Amino acid sequence: MINDTVQSLFDNAKKIVFLTGAGVSTASGIPDYRSKGGLYDQKVRPEYLLSTEALANEPAKMYQFIMTNMYYPEAKPNVIHEKMAALTKQKRAKIITQNIDGLHQKAGVSPTDLIEFHGNIYDLYTIKSHQKVDYKTYQQSMVSQNGELIRPNITLYGEIPFMVESAIKVMQTADLVVIVGTSFVVYPFAGLIDYVKGDVPIMAINQEYITTAHHIEQIIGDASQFFTELKIK
C-alpha cells in the first residue's frame, strides 16, 4: 500500500497530525460506528441514547446502552496505534482523535501529543460535585455512594466537543495531515481540515472514500496493512 512517494512524505515530515476515528480501533476488536454492523447500524439509534436529553430524562437507558455497547476494557492497541505512538515519541507527530476508547494512551502517547476530541469513556465523574469515579465503580452502578448520577466525560449529542481551539492550533502547525479510520462526516471534527495551511499534503487511509472540498490523496484499503508496511526512521 505504500510506495516511495508516500514513504518519503512520512520520512520528511516533522509535524505530522493524525486525525483518527473508530476504524483505527476495529483491529483491536472494537466495532466502528457507521459502517454495516457498527454501533449505529442498529434498531435503536444512539443519537438519543447518547444525548443530553437522555442523560436528563432517561439516565438508566443511557447507562444500559453505554455499558452494553461501548466498553472494551480488555482491548489492546494495534499496529496503527503503535506506529503513531512511535512517531509522537520522536516528537514528529500529534494525534487528534474522535475515539473515546483510550487506546492511543494505552499505546504510550503522551497527553501533550494527544487531543481526545470527544473525551474518554474511562474518565468518569459525578455530575453535580464533579468527583472522579473509577470504571469499576461505574460498572456496579450509575449512581455514586452519595447519590449523585455518574457520567462518562465524553461529548454527548447536544454538547460542544472538547478542546476545539487546541485542535485548531495543532492543525495550523501541521506539515503533513493523515486521516485514518473515519468517515469524516461529523462536525466540528471534519471541519478541522479547514485550518491546514494551503501547501500541506493531506492523506486519508480508509476502507471507503471520504467526501471533502479539499484535495486529499486517498488510499483505500486496510489501515492495519498500511501501518504495518510504514517504516519509521
Catalytic annotation, residues: 118
Contact 104, 85 (CB under 8 A): yes
Q: 119-126 and 150-154 as β-strands: parallel, antiparallel, unpaired? A: antiparallel
Which residues partner with 81 through β-bridges? none
CA-to-CA distance for 37 and 42, rounded, in angstroms?
8
Which residues partner with 203 through β-bridges? 178, 217
DSSP state of 194: G
CA-to-CA distance for 230 and 233, rounded, in angstroms?
10
CA-to-CA distance for 146 and 108, rounded, in angstroms?
35
The distance in angstroms from the start CA to the end CA of the chain is 18
Q: How far is CA 68 from the centre of its chain?
A: 20
DSSP state of 176: E
CB atoms within 10 A of CB 76: 12
DSSP state of 143: B
